[in-house]
Amino acid sequence: MKADEGGQAPSIARVYDYLLGGKDNYPVDREIGDHFKVNLPGSAAIAHTNRGALIRAVRALGRGGVRQFVDLGSGLPTADNVHQVAQRHQPGAAVVQVDTDPTVLAHGRALLAEDDTTTIIEGDVRDPGTIRHHPETEQLIGFGQPVGVILSAVPHHLNDDEDPAGIVRYWAEPIAPGGYVFISHFRSGHNEQTEAAQAKLIGTFGRGRWRTDAEPRALFGTLTLRPPGIVPAFQWHPDASEEPRTPTVWEQLIAAGLARKA
C-alpha cells in the first residue's frame, strides 16, 4: 500500500496499536485496521488475545524470578507493557525493548527517559547479533543469568527464507539455564478467515505467514516446552477469574508457547 498524504506508509506496529485501542497511529494504519474490523468482524480479537497471553507469560517469568528481558519487536507502549509487568513482579528488572518503527522508538524513549533499568533500541530482529551486542543491551543484560526472550507476534512476520528457527536458536544459545523464550505466532486455521487475514497482511506488508502448530513448536529447537505446550493464546494459562468458554474462530488463530533452557 502507498503512503498516505502525510508521507506515512502503514506500519505493523501502528496497526496493532490501533486494533488494541491505542492512539499512536495514522490514517493509513487505521485504514488497514478498519479492514479487519469491518470486513473481517471479530478479527481484532487476534491482537487482544495475543496481548493477554504476553502479559501472563511475563508475569509468570517475573514471579518465577527472571529479572532480565529482551523484548524483540516490542511495538508501541500500551497499558501493561513488558517492562511494566516485569517490574511489577521483579522491581528493578532490566528490560531491553527492540523495534525498527520510528514512532515506536520515539514514544518508547519518551516513556523510558527516567527508567534506568529499561531501554528501547533500534534493531531488526533479522539481525540478532547487532541487537545482542548493542551497547545498551550489553549494559543491561547479563547472559550469564536467566533471561526471558520475548518474540510476541514476531516470527509470523518472518518469511521462511529469513530463517526464523535460526533467529530463535541465536537467542536460545547464550542464555543461561533457567532462561526462557516466549513465542506467539499466527496459527493456521485452514479456513476462510485465515486465508482472508493472511492475504491482507501479505498484500499490505509483503509478509505475514500463518503456520501449523508443529512449525512454531519446531522454532523452540532443543528448549524444553512448558505445559500446556503450543496452544491458542486464549487458552495459554488463562486467568482463574476468566469464565471458561469456547474461543472464537479468530481467537484460535494465534498460538503461544513458553520454553525453558535446561
- Given a contact cutoff of 8 angstroms between Cβ atoms, the answer to whether 122 and 101 are in contact is no
Report which DSSP code applies to 211. Answer: B
pLDDT at site 201: 86
Query: Could you tell me which of 152, 201, 150 has the C-alpha nearest to residue 180?
Result: 150
pLDDT at site 196: 87
Q: Cβ of 228: how many Cβ atoms within 10 Å?
A: 12
First to last CA, the chain: 44
Neighbouring C-alpha atoms within 13 Å toward the C-beta of 212? 4
pLDDT at site 259: 98
pLDDT at site 183: 98
Give pTM, 2 decimals. 0.92
Amino acid at 119: T
Amino acid at 160: D
Q: Is the dihedral of CA 117, 118, 120, 123 positive or negative?
A: positive
Strand partners, 94: 68
pLDDT at site 76: 85
pLDDT at site 7: 47
Strand partners, 68: 94
Q: Cβ of 262: how many Cβ atoms within 10 Å?
A: 8
Region of 65 please: left (phi>0), alpha (psi -120 to 50) or beta. Answer: left
Q: Cβ of 8: how many Cβ atoms within 10 Å?
A: 16
pLDDT at site 6: 46
Alpha-helical (H) ranges within the chain are 12-19, 27-34, 45-63, 82-89, 102-111, 128-132, 135-140, 164-172, 192-205, 214-219
Stated length of the chain? 262
pLDDT at site 53: 97
Q: What is the pLDDT of residues 181-211, one digit of tens each?
A: 999 999 988 888 888 888 888 888 888 888 9
Provide the 3-class DSSP secondary structure of residue 70.
strand
Q: With a cut of 70, list the residues of the chain below it in pLDDT.
A: 1-7
pLDDT at site 3: 47
Provide the 3-class DSSP secondary structure of residue 23.
coil
* 45-63 helix and 82-89 helix, angle to the nearest 10 degrees: 30
pLDDT at site 229: 96
**Spatial separation of the C-alpha atoms in residues 172 and 168, rounded to whole Å:** 6
**Spatial separation of the C-alpha atoms in residues 107 and 6, rounded to whole Å:** 19
